[in-house]
């Protein structure tokens, strides 16, 4: 059973870059899509972007200018960098496997990232 | 972007009764070449990540109880829970995967009356 676990700082200062890692266990990262999503407290889900095992990326156009994703299949990890954060970026950030770029069938537990000085 | 709008925002149903949640997309998510609706439902229990319940609008995931069913096509979809159990208390989300960026509904909070 594929398992995912997010890691990274829980507090980021405004205008700085948020960096998160997702470690995948229980399965191969090959030939799969890996996504980041976020959920502000009490609100809905927003897809940030995906990265294929080959390194090809697709980002949400509304966030594209601030997002960079990378992958290291040798370490079973993929990464998110999100620049120039503001308080509006405070949310629980999830990593997930996106089946065939369709639905999200495996999720991490999520990590709360707060943006505050 | 395709906008997904759920109704109601919250719902209280008695144990053993039926719960119905609706989701409407701003444009059709039915792909005519294969007659499939690119649409999914998720359940999010408190403090947990979302869990995929249904894909292709009506196909239950393995292990999902058969009291959960999905229906609808095009722009209008429904999630039904036939006999509500205590463990069904959660927020339910719809999602379209017809067009990128994939988008979600705002969520429907289901509680016990």
Query: Residue B97 and residue A109: Cβ atoms within 8 Å?
Result: no
Span A10-38, average pLDDT: 96
Helices then strands, counting H and E runs in chain B, come out as 0, 13
Which residue out of B102, B105, B106, B107 would a mutagenesis test of the A interface target, given it has the greatest number of A Cβ atoms within 10 Å? B102
Euclidean distance between CA atoms A97 and B34, whole angstroms: 24
Q: How far is B19 from chain A (nearest CA, A)?
A: 20
Would you list which residues of chain A are within 8 Å, Cβ to Cβ, of chain B? 43-47, 58, 60-62, 94, 96, 101-105, 107-110
For B24-47, what is each residue's pLDDT tens digit?
999 999 999 999 999 999 999 999
Euclidean distance between CA atoms A11 and A18, whole angstroms: 9
Euclidean distance between CA atoms B59 and B66, whole angstroms: 11
Question: Hey, which residues does B6 pair with through a beta bridge?
Answer: B23
**DSSP 8-class letter at A34:** E
Average pLDDT, chain A: 96
Task: Give the number of other CB atoms < 10 A from CB of residue B72.
Answer: 20
pLDDT band at A38 (very low <50, low <70, confident <90, very high): very high
Euclidean distance between CA atoms B70 and B84, whole angstroms: 15
Span A34-39, average pLDDT: 98
Euclidean distance between CA atoms A83 and B24, whole angstroms: 33
* pLDDT the model gives residue B66: 96
* pLDDT the model gives residue A5: 98
Task: Give every CB contact of residue A17 below 8 A, 6+ residues apart in sequence.
Answer: A81, A82, A83, A84, A85
Tokens for A28, please give them: 């191969």
Query: Residue B101 and residue A101: Cβ atoms within 8 Å?
Result: no
Which residue in B49, B103, B105 is closest to A108 by CB distance? Answer: B49
CA-wise closest residue to A63 among A91, A41, A97, A105? A91
């Amino acid at each position: 059973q594929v398992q995912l676990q997010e890691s990274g700082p829980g507090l980021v200062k405004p205008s700085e870059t948020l960096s998160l890692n997702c470690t995948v266990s229980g399965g191969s990262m090959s030939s799969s899509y890996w996504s980041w999503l976020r959920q502000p407290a009490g609100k809905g889900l927003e897809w940030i972007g995906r990265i294929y095992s080959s390194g090809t990326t697709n980002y949400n156009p509304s966030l594209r200018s601030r997002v960079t994703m990378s992958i290291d299949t040798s370490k079973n990890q993929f990464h998110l960098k999100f620049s120039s954060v503001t308080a509006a970026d405070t949310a629980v950030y999830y990593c997930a496997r996106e089946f065939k770029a369709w639905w999200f069938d495996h999720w991490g537990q999520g990590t709360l990232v707060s943006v505050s000085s | 972007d395709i906008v997904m709008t759920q109704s109601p925002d919250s719902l209280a149903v008695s144990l053993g009764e039926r719960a119905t949640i609706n989701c409407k997309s701003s444009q059709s998510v039915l792909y005519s070449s294969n007659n499939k609706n690119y649409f999914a439902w998720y359940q999010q229990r408190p403090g947990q990540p979302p869990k995929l319940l249904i894909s292709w609008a009506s196909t239950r995931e393995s292990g999902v109880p058969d009291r959960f069913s999905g229906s609808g096509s095009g722009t209008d979809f429904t999630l039904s829970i036939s006999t509500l159990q205590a463990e069904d208390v959660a927020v339910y989300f719809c999602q379209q995967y017809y067009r990128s960026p994939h988008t979600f509904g705002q969520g429907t909070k289901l509680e016990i009356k």
